[in-house]
Structure 1
Amino acid sequence: MSFTLAYPAMGPILEFMEANKRIHLTFRCPSLDAIDKSTPLRLDFLEFRTNCIQINKMSYQLNHCEQKYEENQSQKEDKSSREALAPGEIQIGGNKFSNFRKFVEFRIGNEFGDERVRRLPENLEIHMALKKLFGFLLGSRQAIKVSKEMVFDLEQEYILRLPENLKICVKTLNTKKTDFEEILPILDPSCLPLETLKLENAQPHNLQNSVFQTARNVEIIRDDVEWEEDESQVEKWHSEFQKLPNKNIFMDFRFYGQERIVDLIKFWMENGKEIGTCWNFRRRYWEKLNREVKRIKNEIGGTYGRGHSLILPLNDDSELMVVGAKLPENQLRVLQLLVQPKVDRSTCTHKIINQIYSYWLFYSFLTILALMCGSIVFCRIMGPNAIPLVVGLFTISFTFLWLSKLEGFF
């Protein structure tokens, strides 16, 4: 005896079905529409681009296109509506009409590069087609949840034609060059504070926004510096940035260099900072991280710790560690500022480490001198047989020093 699945039981199945398959199924089966709209739509990835929306690995795009116009016999015989002039009408440029007609093209593409193309009716404008498309995909839904990332990659002054009362729950919001505050009305309040906020062109007023300040992770990626010439704007930006309460920030800022880092450290030393704060400032491969750490030490002071780190006291309970590092998730080189519980560094071991890192050049010279003297004595005792061993030892020593210099350790 066979059993059919009742429509109410379809809710949990639709909820955890891949989003594009679910959309296709409910389009083919209109009787499921009510259940579909009342069941949360779960997405892995959602991106809005100019005239395009991408759901997971499927993109839905509308394009303006044009095609050469070919008249059939009846159109050639009856041109009254297209070419004939009524009283008072004026034709400019002679008796010449365009051979091309514009239309809107709808493309659905998948991750493998396969596309389905459909030409929309001639009287349907692209902005109306977008409104219908977004309404069909996202409109009138009880909830939309994006588990990984929602991206907005839009041109300036572009009108994003979203359905009314749309609310989306996200963990990671990436607004790129779009002002993230313009996107806030469509965020479901239940998803705040955000897990990760990624943005470009963060303006001073953005840094004061509570959504920005409460995000657990913030990534600021900004290549252009249009307002860098305005010194008052720059100073205002850095003043607001220093006061941010966020515990995890990644900065890919070209002009946030050593001088700004020193100002930031001094601000933290004067005002304190919460333990667990970790701010990372990206550095390019040619920049010597430990040289930068050494220059910071020359300006502010502090002591060296393990791993070529600089330790600066903040208060009785915490200290700041400044160190060159690589991020494990993407291997980017960063100058890292980490606030950690205070460690007793009055022991002999820590004093020796600080001495070695402070006077590494002197100790390297003594080591090489000792190797040379020892090699002379060794050669006198062993004779010619000692030469390969001595050459190998010196090669290893100089290679280590050279590689250390390349990595910026010294």
Structure 2
Amino acid sequence: MDKPLSYESLKTVLQYLEANLRFHLSNRCVSLKCTEKIVPLRIDSLKLDQRLITVNKTTYLFGIYRDYHIKSDIPRCIQRKNNTGGLGNDVDQYGLPDYSIDHVVTSGDLVIKENGWQENIDRLRNRSMQQLEENVENMKRKREEWMLESYLADLQPHYYKRDNVLPPYDPFIQLTIKHEDETKTIHRTKYTMKLHEAIKKFNTLLFGGRRSTIHVKRVKVSNHHLIIRLPIDVTFRILELKFTGTVEIAYGELKKVVVNIDEPLEELFVDTIADLPQNFEHSLIANSKSLIIRKYAQRLIGDYLKLKNRRVHMRFEDCLFYERDHILLIRNWLETNRDVGYCYTFAFDKKETVVRRLELIKTEFDGDMNDQGSVTISMRNPSNQLCVSCVPTTYHNTGYNEPQWFLKIEVLHVD
């Protein structure tokens, strides 16, 4: 007979198990629950969304599944929703939408919302039966079949309520687990609680009741309009952060659960930064060792001259900066005598554009160009030199249409 693991050996094994496997074993084996909560939890990547979380390479998605009594009666638009994880909001007894998931806040929740965003969404959602009927007639005239089907499906619950009849389906809360190998596991339970309550209960099961801070390498807050349902007692220590929107809003909420939010992060990825200069001055951005900005609408080179980050990567779809902007940046670095380790990259779609810019920089600063096309410029400190080069992108499978080339500006030590 195999000898069972000692308590200390069990804790050691749990510490090195992948997080999702730990969750699974703890859920299946009641005797492991207490021990699993005691052992420090480490996660490689954590994506937080309103009704979805991704832990490492496993995604947990909640939705409302509508199980029609007669399968052939289900509208195609509702079938598509069922197939992709279910409806993202609650429904009442007639099937009318209930958007409490967007409004109800409980202890421990993080509310990350841009000003005015919720009001705009609510205006679009609050369509009366008369408005929907007008939309249906309009789509009939235009012969827009898929839109007509969608409006008819939205209209049907109003008729159920008017006639005081129940819809021809049973609603369930559905949890879809998408595994690393792309396979899915689906769990459904009776619709006896609101969607946000089910999400809160699940996240508490995963993260609540732990004696120590959860260590996460990368955290992604995937939207700038959401409520993240977390247990009251959870805390995280992170190395890298990715978010969208206004820095102050994200920072104010994450500060409640991220214990090292005021310490320099290894990397900060801002998916879309709001067009506010004060965002660049915020400590979250200013203190990060590496800053990646994917989108920023303003072409204000002055904002970037203020940055003190040693590594900054501008990953726009195409570079928003004019030739003179890069000239100003290089001149600023030369005048302030930036030291070794500073490195900025700017995205471009075409290599030819980068090459032309290198030629201009060489002429402007009387630099030297080597056989690879890189330009070196002397600095006040004779031990350092400023190097400008064209490099291919190193980002793959990001889900974006990424640019292929970067203009790289860096300070190097002279050999």
User: Equivalent residue of 1:293, what SS?
Assistant: helix
User: Equivalent residue of 1:288, what SS?
Assistant: helix
Supply the distance in 2 between the matched residues of 1:169 and 1:283 (Cα, whole angstroms). Answer: 34
* Equivalent position of 1:239 in the other structure: 302
Aligned partners of 2:244 and 2:273 also within 8 Å: no
Supply the distance in 1 between the matched residues of 2:165 and 2:5 (Cα, whole angstroms). Answer: 63
Are 1:325 and 2:398 counterparts? no
* Equivalent position of 2:340 in the other structure: 275
Relative to structure 1, the CA distance from residue 212 to residue 9 in structure 2 (aligned partners, 3 Å threshold; closer, same or farther) is same
Are 1:186 and 2:252 counterparts? no
Aligned-residue offset at 1:101: 4.3
User: Equivalent residue of 2:333, what SS?
Assistant: helix
Which AA in structure 2 matches 1:9?
Answer: S
Are 1:221 and 2:294 counterparts? yes
Alignment partner of 1:312 out of 374, 377, 386: 377
Alignment partner of 1:303 out of 367, 391, 396: 367
Alignment partner of 2:171 out of 83, 98, 102: 102
Aligned partners of 2:314 and 2:347 also within 8 Å: yes
Supply the distance in 1 between the matched residues of 2:375 and 2:164 (Cα, whole angstroms). Answer: 80
* Equivalent position of 1:34 in the other structure: 34
Task: Structure 2: give runs of 5+ residues left out of the alignment.
Answer: 71-92, 95-159, 397-402
Spell out, residue by residue over 1:186-227, the C-alpha distance to the aligned partner (whole angstroms, 9 max, x if none).
Answer: 3232994222221222243332222322322221111x73xx
Aligned partners of 1:59 and 1:109 also within 8 Å: yes
Task: Structure 1: give runs of 5+ residues left out of the alignment.
Answer: 71-81, 84-90, 229-233, 344-410
Are 1:135 and 2:175 counterparts? no
User: Equivalent residue of 2:315, what SS?
Assistant: strand
> Which 4+ runs in 1 deviate beyond 6 A?
none
Which AA in structure 1 matches 2:279?
Answer: N
Aligned-residue offset at 1:259: 2.4
Are 1:171 and 2:239 counterparts? yes
Supply the distance in 2 between the matched residues of 1:12 and 1:319 (Cα, whole angstroms). Answer: 49
Aligned-residue offset at 1:337: 0.8
Relative to structure 1, the CA distance from residue 190 to residue 7 in structure 2 (aligned partners, 3 Å threshold; closer, same or farther) is farther
Are 1:4 and 2:72 counterparts? no
Alignment of 1:383-402 (within 5 A): none
* Equivalent position of 1:347 in the other structure: none
User: Equivalent residue of 2:20, what SS?
Assistant: helix
Aligned partners of 2:392 and 2:404 also within 8 Å: yes
Aligned partners of 1:57 and 1:110 also within 8 Å: yes
Aligned-residue offset at 1:131: 0.5
TM-score, normalised by the number of residues in structure 2: 0.67
Supply the distance in 2 between the matched residues of 1:65 and 1:188 (Cα, whole angstroms). Answer: 37
Bigger RCO (CA 8 Å, 6+ sep)? 2
Aligned-residue offset at 1:245: 1.6
Supply the distance in 2 between the matched residues of 1:214 and 1:267 (Cα, whole angstroms). Answer: 20
Aligned-residue offset at 1:130: 0.7
Which AA in structure 1 matches 2:258?
Answer: L
**Which structure is larger by alpha-carbon Rg, 1 or 2?**
1
Aligned-residue offset at 1:42: 1.8
Supply the distance in 2 between the matched residues of 1:96 and 1:218 (Cα, whole angstroms). Answer: 56
Which AA in structure 1 matches 2:335?
Answer: E
Alignment partner of 2:214 out of 121, 127, 144: 144
Aligned-residue offset at 1:96: 4.8
Alignment partner of 2:322 out of 254, 257, 272: 257
Relative to structure 1, the CA distance from residue 144 to residue 95 in structure 2 (aligned partners, 3 Å threshold; closer, same or farther) is closer
TM-score, normalised by the number of residues in structure 1: 0.67
Spell out, residue by residue over 1:63-105, the C-alpha distance to the aligned partner (whole angstroms, 9 max, x if none).
Answer: 12223358xxxxxxxxxxx99xxxxxxx974465433443321
Are 1:59 and 2:51 counterparts? no
Relative to structure 1, the CA distance from residue 303 to residue 9 in structure 2 (aligned partners, 3 Å threshold; closer, same or farther) is closer
Aligned partners of 2:235 and 2:259 also within 8 Å: yes
User: Equivalent residue of 1:194, what SS?
Assistant: coil
Amino-acid identity (%): 24
Aligned length: 312
* Equivalent position of 2:225 in the other structure: 157
Aligned partners of 2:68 and 2:169 also within 8 Å: yes
Which AA in structure 2 matches 1:168?
Answer: F
User: Equivalent residue of 1:31, what SS?
Assistant: helix
Spell out, residue by residue over 1:326-364, the C-alpha distance to the aligned partner (whole angstroms, 9 max, x if none).
Answer: 356769421111113468xxxxxxxxxxxxxxxxxxxxx
Are 1:284 and 2:352 counterparts? no
